[in-house]
Structures are given as C-alpha cells and as structure tokens.
Structure 1
Amino acid sequence: MIRFKEACVLDSDSGPFNVIQEAIRDWNLDQKHFSLTSISEIRNDKSTSKLMDLFIQRKCLPVRGELYNIVCVDDVLNTIVSKGEPMLHVVGGILEKFVQQQMSSSLTRQQLLEVVSHMGLKCPQEDAKWWHKIYFRLEVFLYFKKAFPSEELLSGEDAKTVDSVCKILRTFHRAVEVISSPVRPTANIYFNELWKVRTTLQEEASTDHTELANMVCEMQETFNEYWQNSYVWLSIPVVLDPRFKITFIEFRLKRAFGSDTDKYLSAIRDIVRELFHEYCGPVDKPGVDTSNREARDVKLDGFDSDSLEDWDEHLNAQTRSQLLTELDNYLEDGLVPRKDDFDILNWWMSNSTKYPTLSVMARDVLAMPASAVHFEAASSSEGPVIHKQWSTLDIKTVEALVCTRDWIK
C-alpha cells in the first residue's frame, strides 16, 4: 500500500484519477504499472477510463490495457450473493428461531464458542456482512443438526434447503477468504476458486425448490456476465502455471461450453502470444555518437543507419521467432507434477535460464491482485476502517501509519 486517502477525496469526479496518477508519478511506476484492481464504482468511473487511456497513449500498459482495469473479485462475489438476499434472510430467520429455542437452552455461550473453535470457524465480527453471519449460523446448525433433531421447528424440506444454501455460501466464503488473503496469493489460484463457485451454482440450479432455483438462476446470470468480461485475465496466470498450462483451461472450457470452447481458447492464446511478444521487445541498436557522424559515415563506406533499416527489421523478426520458440517449448513441455507445497514463483526463478523472457512475464502476471482489500475488510459491511484512536490524527499521519502497517504485514 502506497496511498491512503479520505473517501471524500475519491468521491469527486477526478478523485481516483488524481490520486492514482500522483502515486504512480511519485513512486516512478509509469513503466512498472501492470494492472489496476478496484471496486465497481471506481472501475466504471470516467476518471478511471481517462487514466487507462492516458497509460495506453504513453504505451505503459501491456496488450492495449486488456489486463489493466480489473474489477475486485470480492466486490463481484458480494454482488452475486446479494441477488439471493430475500431467500437467504428467510433461511437465516429459520436458523435464528432454531438456535434460540434449541441450542441456547442447552449450551452456554462459552461452550458454544469452544465448539465453534473446534470446528475451525471464526465468529463473524459485529460489522460483518450479513451473508457472512448467515453462513456462520448455517455451519453451526449443520454441525448440531443431529444432536438437536426437531421436525416441528425444521422440517425435512427446510433442512434440505438449509444444506443447499450453506453449500453455496461456503463456496463464496471460501473464495473471498482465499482471494483476499493477507498472504497475497499468486494469480494462478483465482481461476479455480471462481470455477468452484460456477460449479456449485450449476449443481444447485437443478433443485426442486422453486424459490431456491430462482435465487441460483439470478446468481448465475450475474456470474456469467462477470465471466464473459474476465475469463481472459483469469486464464492467463493458469497458462503460466507449469502444473496446468493451456491444457487445463481447455479441459475446463470444453466441459462447460462445448462447441463454444474454441472462441474462448482463441482469445486466451492470442493475448498470451501478444503479451509475450511485447516482453520480447525490439533488438537494441548500437549507440551512435552523433558528434562523429561524418567520420563514421566515411568509415562505414556508405552503410548508414537509414539504409540498414530493413536489415534491422529482419534481425528483429529472427529474434522474435527464436523467442516465440521459448513460449512454444514451454507449452509443449510436460506438466510439472502437482504437490501441496509447490512454489510457483520459486519454480519460475529456478527455470529463468531455460525461459528467460517467459519468467519475467510470469513474475508480473502472477502478481496481479484480484482483491482490492484484505479479508477482514472484504468481510466487513463497513469496508476498510482505521483504528478509533487514529480518527483524531492528521490524514497524512494516518496515511503513514496505515501504509507502514501494511508493509510490515
């Protein structure tokens, strides 16, 4: 984190544009700026589009900015869940009644907290988003369901609905937890977490419960819209994962989209090759001392730079062809065996001699964040907040404290 600003600064028409541009200028990030991850309000803001156009004009962004303006995945997942808010609140009400009448009379609060801790769950904070609270209650209910049978309070149909809703929210909660982890996961894991969300919604869409099926249908519509706008940037890091590469993407897409798979794969392959081509760069020309230009012209016996432009282009084409072979070799090489402790960044560092250009590209692509905030802020209804004791401090002092704390973490 290199900037922390008041909300009122960002609320103005040019707020995000000025803040981001200032930060990039002060930290000399013009040529090191790969992507921007933001919530929907900022992503769709005119000033953000203005910023993107400016960087494209300066040729600071790879592949025409295709990987630049990324919507925060936490924001998307919260939007998808909100489509089922009425139904989820009904389920939450059923659970509240069950907990109050059955469990509260049998367990003390301390005993309940011990059981929750044993389950590996964390009690949501008071300011947690509503669906995080419902999910927590669902998990606790399912854990105690066998110990507190009560057909009067929870029929078999309701129990089945609760189980389905919990499965959906568990997948969303897991995705938010992984993607917004303070450990800052590499970008190759995002695709799989979101694919789990897609798979879960697809499985629950076939339920006989009409209201639940309608809820899932609305969620799917929003997810599919997000997928159409994001599948390229989600797939590229997976291509650069030596355990999966393009083969894994093809496997997933064929199962999901059938005959439309070629359309998606073609777009992914084109961007990968274009991005790699940009990382290859042009062949550097030898420096020419202009003060001795006349002497050099005589020494070269007429072979001036202008007459050799076509030769330079030929050399560039040859070099690019050789470098593209590097990409082809990587894609054609066998997959690395999967193991739990696999370190993808270490793998690329170890193979940087074999794939010199591709390793640099992978380093940047794998660093793309999918979340604009850490999990604590992502799960909070109030978003990122500062400590109460900091509220009276000068904004610059608060910015220094917040940024320093983030660096130390």
Structure 2
Amino acid sequence: MEGNDAETVNTETTPTTSRRGRKRSMVWEHFTVETVSGGCTRACCKLCKQTFAYSNGSKVAGTSHLKRHIALGSCPNIKNMERQQLALASGMKSNGDTTDLPKKRYRTSSFGSTFDQEQSCTSLAKMIIVNEYPLHMVEHPAFLSFVQSVQPRFNMVDVNVMECEVLSVYHKERLNLMQVFENMPGRISLTIGLWTTSQTLGYICLSGQCIDNDWKLHRRMLNFMMVTSPHSENALSEAIAVSLSDWNMKTKLFTITLDNNCSSHDIYSANLRDHLSNKNTLMLKGQLFVVRCYANILNVIAQDVIASIHGIVYNIRESVKFVKASPAREHKFSEIALQIEIPSMKALSLDVTTLWNTTFLMLDAALEYKEAFTFLETCDDNYNEAPSADDWKQVDVVCTLLKLLYDSANTVMGTIDQTANIYFQEAWKILLELTNATMSEDPMMSSIAKEMHEKFDKYWKDCSLVLALAVVMDPRFKLKLVEFSFSKLYGEDSVGYVKLVNDSLHELYMEYVAQPLPLTPAYMDQGGEANHMNGDNNNPHIGDGLLDFDIYLSEIEVNQSTKSELDQYLEEALVPRTQGFEILNWWKLNSLKYPTLSKMARDVLAIPVSIVGTGCSFFGSGTGTRVLDEYRSSLRPETVEALFCARDWLQHLPIMTELPSTALVKMEF
C-alpha cells in the first residue's frame, strides 16, 4: 500500500525506515506503532504510553490527532517538562526529570521568516517615534531582556545610534512627503502653533493643509522649529519664510491660521502680511491671509467666563468631591435627591481644570441637584460647602452661555472632514445668541453676555469674510445662507455686508480665471483616468490635430458675453441638505463642469479655520501655547523636530495601522 502512513507494522518499534515506506512526519519521534487484535494497529506515545487509533485493515487514521496530542500539550509528561523548564528559566529549583521537550518546527509568515538587523533598528525607531518613548529606553535592562527573549540575534544599539536612526526615518519620510506636496494641485494653507520650554527658548510648529487630486483633505506637520523668542514680532514671519523655502512652497501659500492669544493677534497679522506679501502672491490682496483659530476663541471665552466665577466653581468642585468621597455619601445623596423628587438623570462628575468642557459638565450636572446640596448641608455637619441661591443663579447663567460654545465645538468635532464651510453657521449662531443675550432683562445674563460678545465679535470681524466665502462654496447654501444670517445679525444694514462678500467672491474668482487652464476641460487630468483612457500620460490633449480649433473655441468663449462659472453656480438651485452629504465628493464630481471655480473651491475649503485637526479635542488641549516637557527640552532641536514631525507622518502610513502579522500560521512535526 502506498503513502507515507499507510503500511501495517507488526512490531512495537518505530515503523520501518525503508526508502519507499519511510515515515517522514516528525510525529514518529514521539510515537511507536503497536499491533492489536484483528489486524489493527495503534500509535503509542513514548512519554505517557497513551494509545491512539492508527489503522484498521486498509483504513489509516492519519497523524493529525497525534500531532495535537504533542503540540497542544495534551500529553501530561510534556506539561510537566514545560513547567520544569519555566521554573529553571526563572531561577527556581526543580527535582523533576530533565527529559527534553519535544522539538517543534514552526512556519511563520514571510515577514518574519528572516532576521534583518537594519530593518529591526528602523522598526524600533518608528516604535519610539510613534509612541513617544524616550530614546534611552534602548538602555533599559527590562527592555533589553525582553528583546533578547524575543530575538537573541538582535544587537541592541545605544542612545546615540538610535538618535541617528530616528533622524534617518525623519529624512526619508520628509522626502516622500515633499513629493506628495509637489503633486498637490492647489495652494497650501498653514497652521501655526507655539510651544515654550522651561528655558527661554521656544518652538514654532507649522502644519500644511490642502486637498489632493482625489479631493481628499490632508494636514501634515511641516516643521517644528526652535526660536529664541517665539512671541517676538519677527519670529513667526522668519520661521514661515524658512519653511516655505524648505518645502518649495513660496508661490503656493494661501492662508495662515494662527494659534495665539487675542492681544498679540494684531501684531502678528500686520507683521506677517508686510513680510510675506513682498515675496508671495497673496490672493485677494491678502484679505484672507491671516485666519484666527476657531477653537482658540471658544476656549479663551469659556475660560474667561469660568474664571469670573472661580469661587463658586471651587465650592461646587469641593461639594462634588464630598459626595463622591465614599459610597455611603453617594447613597445618602441619592436618597436625598429621591426624597425631594429631583428628576435629573445626570451623574455628578469632577472636572479636569485644564479642559473647560469638563468644568461645564460638572457645573451643569451640579445645577440639577442644587436643592439636594442645600438639603445635605442641613443634615450633615461635615458638609458646609453648599453654594448660595445667588451662586446657583450665576451658575445657571454661565451654563446657559457656555452651552452655546460646547454644542458648537461638538458639532465641529463630529464632522469627519473639517473643511472651512462648516464654521460659518456655527459662528454666526453664537454671535446672534450672544447679541440677544446682551439685551436680556436679567442684569447678570446681560453682563456676562456682553463680555463674551465683545471677544467673539472681534473674532467675527476678523474672520467673517473667510467664513462667508467658504460657506458659499457649499452647494447646499451658497450666498443664500449669507443673506439670511446677515439679515438676522445686521437687519437693514445687511445689504451692504452681503455686497462686500459678493464683491470679494467675484474678485477672488477673477484671480483664478487669470490663471492658466487646459484649453479643453474634458481632457483635464482627473486622478490620471482621463490620460489613461486617452492612451497618453504626458499630454492632456488627444493629439487629433485640432489645436487651432481649440484656440478658436477659447477665443469665442472669451468674446461671448456668457455667464461665468461662478454666476452659473450661484444661480443654480441649492443642493438638498441630505444626511451624509460630502462636499468634497460633490466638487470632485462637478470639477469638469466648473474647472475654474473648482480650483478656487479647492483652496478655500482647505483653509484650516481651526488649528485642531480631525479626531482632536477643541476643549483646551492643543489650542493655546503648549509647554514642552523637560525630557524633550533637553534634546537637540533637530532631534525634537524629527520626533514631532515623523510621528505625525508615520501615523498616516498603512503600516502603522496594519502591522504585518508574525503569528504562526501552521505547525509541522
């Protein structure tokens, strides 16, 4: 009978080793074959002496069940030996036998089939970068022990070598990103972040945002540069000029979004315009050049409002601490709330003082239980932090106004693509509500609202034109929403404000008209599809010998008094406001219909109205001047830049989200 495991053996020794019938499976290192009655044979484990069916006449059971007995630890003797080996490895004494463990042969995926010292060093550097580990972790004894247990052949490098490896990763990814930016069809908008250190030095963080050929929004960190005086008038303009030169973007700058406090904004704006307008062609005479961060203004206003009642906030925080100090107190407080029939379902929570949204939620929940806190003070001698009736009234007013900012921030954060069009509706609603609140008959409401309105109105005056132009590029709103909102804000004076937006819109459009476009929009490069279909990857024209005809058509279009793309777009009916509408996909589908206007829309929608990117919080973190920790402050500036920038870049690579598996895919004996 042919086959590796098919012959019948009449001995208790390992089956025959003849060349034709040799049993090649490694399982026979651990089993013998015994003959039983009826011409049947059974496989007997050499270690535990258990027997398993092997053959019955002409039928052979195979070896899979025998492999499982050895490989999965079913054999009790193997379990004992594994325990003994673990005990020896951990320095414990064992009196058991020292029988060798069965040899296992594993086949891994191709990724882990060979060891590469250089590749392993690169992977280690990327791990340190992405997870923000300290460079000197390569010298930690515990980490060294772990690496040796996983791969003894890996020769661990020292801190200096790992720093060089990090810089190598940075330079490689930077070259890749430069190629990506070179192929971007539109302009680049920048965001500026300020970082300080415990020393007198500081850092300026620059990120670029744009929309690619496939109408996908991208934001990438460009530089993390050390400056001696980050708040000086020239620091920003010089850093931006260096960054634009390094990335070959001198002629592609569109807008700059600043992350700074309100008082220094005017200095930065004037300085940046004067310094850069001489070296760059700014669109719309620089009227859109400087944009203020939307998240920053929300945080500044919210934190100022909370600070205005800091004493009351402290009392409420201490009150919540008192209640949550023990389960018994929480139970007692719940009984009080039930007894006086408080309907609230909100749970008391403590805040994180650096995140104003948590303070708002703490105040908002505590406000629902104000009567319970007052009652608790009368029946518990240990509690004497209950706010007064006037205190609760102030909290009520503050929570009403803070909710406007809180809801707006959550709306923006809930949007997948934070294109510039989403901010206009949020900003004008806040301004309208604050304007109405300033006229409230409640003096407390009016007083707090006036302070908030003053700050937000300054933001609105600086940025309303940018926000309005962006929302016009939304086919669901166009100029109609601008007209509607301005009528609410300005009444009879709204006509003049709408005209300003309309004139700026057409002026900006004419600047894009002056830029060269392919003579025949039908042959424009749309992600390479048009050229591929035409069989020519170098020339957008089909080479049919009708170039003169194309010129003739172009001259006719110029001479004829036809409506512009912009006017056609504005006069068409609004797109329905359906759930799941994707503005970038709409422009992608309509870019052939509006070849010039779509270029303008691409740049306008890519303006980063907030320095906080998608997936990040608006509430405090990352929206003001940040402080570099002591460890990173001690590193060389070029290393700090490499760590920050490479971390941002690597997070967008597929390998960082889908690491290749090195799991065992098959076991053989």
CA separation of 1:318/1:160 partners in 2, compared to 1, >3 Å: closer, same or farther? same
Task: State whether structure 2 residue 601 is matched by structure 1 residue 379.
Answer: no
Unmatched 5+ residue regions in structure 2?
Answer: 1-220, 335-344, 378-385, 520-551, 653-669
* Per-residue CA distance 1:207-236 (angstroms, 9 max, x = gap): 554334212112112222322222111111
CA contact (8 A) 1:83 1:215 kept: no
Residue 262 of structure 1, CA deviation: 0.8
For 1:402 and 1:121, locate their aligned partners in 2 and report how far apart those are by CA, in whole Å: 38
Amino acid in structure 2 at the alignment position of 1:379: G
Residue 11 of structure 1, CA deviation: 3.4
Question: 2:257 maps to what in 1?
Answer: 37
Question: 1:271 maps to what in 2?
Answer: 504
Residue 244 of structure 1, CA deviation: 0.8
Task: State whether structure 2 residue 447 is matched by structure 1 residue 214.
Answer: yes
CA separation of 1:60/1:378 partners in 2, compared to 1, >3 Å: closer, same or farther? farther
Question: 1:347 maps to what in 2?
Answer: 586
CA contact (8 A) 2:412 2:423 kept: yes
Question: 2:299 maps to what in 1?
Answer: 78
Question: 2:36 maps to what in 1?
Answer: none
For 2:483 and 2:367, locate their aligned partners in 1 and report how far apart those are by CA, in whole Å: 37
Amino acid in structure 2 at the alignment position of 1:369: P
Residues 223-242 of structure 1 mapped to structure 2, 5 A cutoff: 223-242=456-475
Question: 1:331 maps to what in 2?
Answer: 570
CA contact (8 A) 1:43 1:70 kept: no
CA RMSD of aligned residues (A): 3.7
Question: 2:290 maps to what in 1?
Answer: 69
SS at match of 1:260: helix
- More moved, 227-236 vs 199-208: 199-208
Question: 2:363 maps to what in 1?
Answer: 138
Larger fraction in strand: 2
Question: 1:370 maps to what in 2?
Answer: 609
Question: 1:361 maps to what in 2?
Answer: 600
For 2:347 and 2:290, locate their aligned partners in 1 and report how far apart those are by CA, in whole Å: 36
Residues 8-27 of structure 1 mapped to structure 2, 5 A cutoff: 8-27=228-247
CA separation of 1:147/1:242 partners in 2, compared to 1, >3 Å: closer, same or farther? farther
SS at match of 2:251: helix
Residue 401 of structure 1, CA deviation: 1.7
CA contact (8 A) 2:512 2:596 kept: yes
Q: TM-score, normalised by structure 2?
A: 0.49
Q: TM-score, normalised by structure 1?
A: 0.77
- More moved, 86-95 vs 250-259: 86-95
Residues 4-403 of structure 1 mapped to structure 2, 5 A cutoff: 4-6=224-226, 8-38=228-258, 39=260, 40=262, 43-45=265-267, 49-58=270-279, 60-81=281-302, 83-85=304-306, 87-105=308-326, 106-107=329-330, 125=352, 128-129=354-355, 131-142=356-367, 150=375, 153=386, 158-176=391-409, 185-281=418-514, 318=558, 322=562, 325-374=564-613, 375-376=616-617, 379-380=620-621, 383-386=625-628, 389-403=631-645
CA separation of 1:283/1:315 partners in 2, compared to 1, >3 Å: closer, same or farther? farther
* Per-residue CA distance 1:28-71 (angstroms, 9 max, x = gap): 1122211001124664336x534423543445211001111112
CA separation of 1:52/1:104 partners in 2, compared to 1, >3 Å: closer, same or farther? same
SS at match of 2:418: coil
For 1:352 and 1:382, locate their aligned partners in 2 and report how far apart those are by CA, in whole Å: 37
CA contact (8 A) 1:87 1:212 kept: no
SS at match of 1:14: helix
SS at match of 1:3: strand
CA separation of 1:336/1:25 partners in 2, compared to 1, >3 Å: closer, same or farther? same
CA contact (8 A) 1:283 1:315 kept: no
Percent sequence identity is 32
Q: How many residues align?
A: 371
SS at match of 2:291: strand
CA contact (8 A) 1:348 1:359 kept: yes
